[in-house]
Structure 1
Amino acid sequence: MRLMFRALALLIAALAAPLAADPGDIDAAARGVVRVVVIGDNNGALVPVTHGSGFAVSPTRIVTNAHVIQEALQDDTLRIGVVPSEGEGGTFARVIAVSPRNDLALIEIARGTLRLPPLTLAGGVGRDLGEVWAVGYPMNVDLAQGLTMDDIFRAQPPVKSRGFLSGERPSRQFDTILHTAPIARGNSGGPLLDGCGRVLGVNSFGADSDSGDAEFYFAVSLRELLPFLRDNKVEPVTNALPCRSIDELNAEERQRLEAAQSDARERLAARAARLGEVREKARLTAQMEVLEARENAMALALIALLVAVGSGAAAVQWRRDPATSKRAGLAAGAAGAAVIIAGLLWLTRPGLAEIEDRVAAALAEAEKDGDAGGSAAGAPSQAADGALLCSFLPDRSRVTSARADDVALDWNADGCVNGRTQYGLSAGGEWSRVLVLEDEAAVAVNTYDPATRTFRTDRYLLGQADMAKVVAARGKYTPPACQVSEAARTLGEQQSALVALLPDRPNERLVFDCVARQSGGAP
């Protein structure tokens, strides 16, 4: 019955845990997990005496448990070896510091022998008690696979076991984390990871399960590990941002896009309704004014015509009498002038087409006033081109190890960045530049969207085999320089083969919002 309750509790924890874990993150962290071997000499042949696990906190420094290397500390005929998870083999290490009180040790490999990707430490244990992974080299798996002693000295991928966090719990001497990710002898010193591949603790020991109860395991907590590292002049990469999946970010981006489109549709509908009201009012006003002006002009033309007729008749009558012949001339002149005035009034009367002209002018004025009102509302001026300052947006990002500093860039409409780096234009209209970062065993795909002023970096953390393929693909092309004819299209085609080698989803995504900045750098 007790086991049933334990199983039910674990099932509830699994269902309640956030779906943030991605196997790619655990694989990325596993690149920096190593087998730590205590090595003896048997008639000139190197033989493993015992082994555990460890993980890199810098390219050359490795954390493990104190009890893993304890025998080497007490016997100067024994040496400590480090075997990476991939590559051509291992190397020897020297002890930097040991703390038996909290079962921690720091060892260092010689520079130039290996370069390991450091793991990122989490900011602390989250409250959700979610999914965790133990990564290391359990001896029972070695035995089950029939590995020989020689096999232990060859690079092997570490074993990953999944469980759930059960909380923090101090032991008699130090703080530990309680979890259910299975570990065995050989896992000691390996990392306990959260769903984003960040270190939560150092696996150390398991609970006694002889009574048949469900098993629990203990890891040395970050409260012990961080001071230990800093006391020994190691400043590890730490990250306290929430652990969120790429799928979650993609879903939120879709919702954000849909919301923006819905808002745009509503604003367009409101604008159309407002302009419709303006149009109807302007049409009614124009009709009244134009028709009134036409009628007035026509009435005046008729009056002028009547004056012309009257003056003409008088001129004819007065011309018959020599005594009034002079008046006849004046009357005839008045009649001619009246005819001209009548003609001008008739010809210059407003046409019906003027109604539409006045409606169009009223609409243009209304649109101008609307634009001015939007600017007056305080919307920031964000230029798509020119000098930009791009600020990190943590709520739209997923970061496990990368730095999230703000980005300053000078963007040109032809895709030239900072006056020297050309971005490629894909068939889908996306501006991007792919960076192969060999020192970090990573690929960064930088993209910029001038329409939304959004700069984004997707980072892919790759193993040695995948990284070798990417490096080879990158070596097959030379990016065109800025101002070269068809540079953007050419680079877009060149990069497509490299992008095709990358996984379906990145390990990290950094999103930045860009605004125009002054020449001095201030936005």
Structure 2
Amino acid sequence: MKPFLRLVILLLALLGGPALADPGDIDAASRGVVRVIVVGGEGEEVYPVSHGSGFAVDAETIVTNAHVVSEAVNDPDLAIGLVPSSGGNAVYGRVIAVSPRNDLALVRTTHPMRLPPLTIAGNAPANSTAVLAIGYPMNVDQAQGLGEEDLFRAQPPVTSQGFLSGRRPSRDFDTLLHTAPIARGNSGGPLVDQCGRVVGVNSFGAESNATEAEFFFAVTMRELLPFLRANGITPQMNSLPCRSLDELEEAERQRAERQMLTAQREAQAAEQEAARQSDDLRAQVAFEVLDERAAGLFAAFILLLIAGAAGAYAAHAHRQQNLRHRALAGSVALMALAAALIAWFTRPAYADIQERVEERLREQMDSPQTGPLPQPASTAGNLTCTLDTGRSRIIGEPVAEFPLRWTEAGCVNGRTQYGATGGEWSRVFVPGDEDTVSVNRYDPQAREYVVERYLLDRTAMDELRSVRAEFQAPACNAGGTAATDLGDRQQAILTMLPDRPNERLVYTCSEDSAATGE
């Protein structure tokens, strides 16, 4: 029954379930998970009495289960140790709040740990959603042969995947039923969605034997959020749908295709309009030529009539021996005949239509512009950048809007110089107090600002900080090659980052009407 049930769940995941979690997001969430150890001992000799798991809701505050710390709460001879998942040393913690009713507790570090807080999912997850349990199951420690001293060393937590099976009240509090395997030691660890956001606090499992399906329970956000707020903790929250980078990039690809098709249609429409104008010009010229030919023919006909009449009169004058009238009429006849011939042979030919069309087009192209020549638009200005949630992958709690004062030299808000590389403006931030690298890019022509965030472990951050310390960013508007030099130096950091960011925030920027006085 048990293997069969697991096979069914796997098939459902492959055929109809959501995409697998991004390992980078789960690794990022794991950074804020700690081992919570109840410590006993005398003097400098300490030993673990029991242990569970917990996760950070701010840099120095841990959520865990009440039953994980209950022994230390009830026995003054016991203490609580907090062991980070990567980098740093174990520190002691003190319990600042306990709620046995819903099995929740808060532990504050006694020495700074600078833990990256996990983001809380603002919306309740739907049934059958894929979830992952993160923590320190004791049976894994035993299988690895870890001794008591090993528990105090930083080690990555264990991750297991399953699916939600519904909400239900248990032991007088609200819980999520799920199939992500947990064991002793997982208690207090987070249950997260595929973006690494907390949807529950793992608490206990259903009793079963080897032939029955295994189900586990996690305290819901309906219990956790009031508990945190009651104790003055404002967690980082995100209520947006969990989207993978693959989904986002596919949507961007389709968006680019739509833009390309729109540009092609506009170009085709422009070509059609130019062709229509050319046809109109050709028709206009053709009418002009036909009119001129008709005028020439008419003039030649009239002149021939005049020549004929003058010739007839000259003949009559000749018979009358009127030499003066004969000469005058003969002259008129000859001039009229010559003019008729000129009118006939100088009338435009049909071949002149194409030549005139081409000449008119050249005249239009060569005609001087009226007024001043158009100048390229300045990219500098005071802007307001607004988050485009439809084009963003958001893991944490981002800034929805911010002001951006940009200069053509790549200075932001009068204090931060951006680097220029291959026509792109960017700035890489490697903070000393946060385990996150941000790559901020701005496209002045499109007025698009993109922030990509990489949530890294302590080891990776230490390496990046050492590389960042090798160069000094120039002051704003330093001039010369300062911007390109910074762009080149930043490449050393970019090559060390993972292939994909954990978070991508896309902002569209527009003129700040308040700043421009509109």
TM-score band, normalised by shorter chain: 0.7 to 0.9
Return the offset for 1:264: 1.5
1:469 equivalent in alignment to 2:463:
yes
SS at 1:105's partner residue?
strand
Match of 2:56 in 1: 56
Match of 2:75 in 1: 75
Q: In the TM superposition, what whole-angstrom CA distance separates every residue of 1:326-382 from its partner, at most 9, and x where no partner exists?
A: xx9xxx9xx99xx99x99xx99999988966767878999xxxxxxxxxxxxxxxx9
Distance in structure 1 (CA, Å) of the matches to 2:229 and 2:516: 35
Match of 1:417 in 2: 412
What is the aligned-residue identity percentage? 49
**1:513 aligned to which of 508, 511, 517:** 508
**1:447 aligned to which of 441, 450, 453:** 441
SS at 1:476's partner residue?
coil
Pair 521,457 (structure 1): closer, same or farther in 2 beyond 3 Å? farther
1:434 equivalent in alignment to 2:428:
yes
Aligned CA-pair RMSD: 3.9
Match of 1:104 in 2: 104
Distance in structure 2 (CA, Å) of the matches to 1:355 and 1:416: 55
Distance in structure 2 (CA, Å) of the matches to 1:518 and 1:361: 45
Q: How does 1:122-141 map to 2 (within 5 A)?
A: 122-127=121-126, 129-141=128-140
Q: In the TM superposition, what whole-angstrom CA distance separates every residue of 1:151-171 from its partner, at most 9, and x where no partner exists?
A: 111111111111122221211
Return the offset for 1:128: 5.5
Distance in structure 1 (CA, Å) of the matches to 2:359 and 2:40: 93
SS at 1:204's partner residue?
strand
SS at 1:257's partner residue?
helix
Match of 2:28 in 1: 28
Distance in structure 1 (CA, Å) of the matches to 2:157 and 2:457: 13
Distance in structure 2 (CA, Å) of the matches to 1:213 and 1:244: 34
SS at 1:57's partner residue?
strand
- Scaled by the length of structure 1, the TM-score of the pair is 0.83
CA contact (8 A) 1:282 1:359 kept: no
Pair 2,25 (structure 1): closer, same or farther in 2 beyond 3 Å? closer
CA contact (8 A) 1:399 1:510 kept: yes
Pair 499,361 (structure 1): closer, same or farther in 2 beyond 3 Å? farther
CA contact (8 A) 2:125 2:199 kept: no
Match of 1:503 in 2: 498
CA contact (8 A) 2:58 2:117 kept: yes
1:234 equivalent in alignment to 2:233:
yes
Match of 1:369 in 2: none
Q: What stretches of structure 2 of length at least 5 have no aligned partner? A: 311-323, 365-376
Q: After superposing the two structures, state which structure 1 stretch, 289-298 or 22-31, moved more.
A: 289-298
Pair 50,149 (structure 1): closer, same or farther in 2 beyond 3 Å? same
Q: Name the amino acid aligned to 1:173.
A: D
1:391 equivalent in alignment to 2:390:
no
Q: In the TM superposition, what whole-angstrom CA distance separates every residue of 1:30-80 from its partner, at most 9, and x where no partner exists?
A: 111111111111454111111111111011111000000111111111111
Return the offset for 1:426: 2.4
Distance in structure 1 (CA, Å) of the matches to 2:496 and 2:355: 60
CA contact (8 A) 1:290 1:352 kept: no
Return the offset for 1:102: 0.5
SS at 2:277's partner residue?
helix
Return the offset for 1:474: 1.3
Distance in structure 1 (CA, Å) of the matches to 2:414 and 2:267: 38
1:489 equivalent in alignment to 2:484:
yes
Distance in structure 2 (CA, Å) of the matches to 1:362 and 1:418: 49
Q: In the TM superposition, what whole-angstrom CA distance separates every residue of 1:253-310 from its partner, at most 9, and x where no partner exists?
A: 11111121122212222332232222112211122224524764797699899999x9
SS at 2:132's partner residue?
strand
Q: Name the amino acid aligned to 2:85.
A: S
Match of 2:374 in 1: none
Pair 468,6 (structure 1): closer, same or farther in 2 beyond 3 Å? closer
Distance in structure 1 (CA, Å) of the matches to 2:131 and 2:517: 43
Pair 278,476 (structure 1): closer, same or farther in 2 beyond 3 Å? same
SS at 1:520's partner residue?
helix
SS at 1:389's partner residue?
strand
SS at 2:146's partner residue?
coil
Q: After superposing the two structures, state which structure 1 stretch, 506-515 or 232-241, moved more.
A: 506-515
Distance in structure 2 (CA, Å) of the matches to 1:268 and 1:261: 10
Distance in structure 1 (CA, Å) of the matches to 2:384 and 2:478: 23
Match of 1:322 in 2: none
Pair 302,257 (structure 1): closer, same or farther in 2 beyond 3 Å? same
Q: Name the amino acid aligned to 2:224.
A: L
SS at 2:11's partner residue?
helix
Distance in structure 2 (CA, Å) of the matches to 1:296 and 1:5: 97
SS at 1:219's partner residue?
strand
Q: In the TM superposition, what whole-angstrom CA distance separates every residue of 1:438-459 from its partner, at most 9, and x where no partner exists?
A: 3221111111223433211111
Distance in structure 2 (CA, Å) of the matches to 1:128 and 1:411: 47
SS at 1:97's partner residue?
strand
Distance in structure 2 (CA, Å) of the matches to 1:207 and 1:390: 50
Match of 2:400 in 1: 405
CA contact (8 A) 1:279 1:359 kept: no
Q: In the TM superposition, what whole-angstrom CA distance separates every residue of 1:457-502 from its partner, at most 9, and x where no partner exists?
A: 1110111111111111211222334251233322221111110010
SS at 1:205's partner residue?
strand
Distance in structure 1 (CA, Å) of the matches to 2:305 and 2:102: 118
Q: Name the amino acid aligned to 1:25.
A: D
SS at 1:52's partner residue?
strand
Q: After superposing the two structures, state which structure 1 stretch, 134-143 or 483-492, moved more.
A: 483-492
Match of 1:289 in 2: 288
Match of 2:319 in 1: none
Match of 1:264 in 2: 263
Q: Name the amino acid aligned to 1:158.
A: P
Match of 1:247 in 2: 246
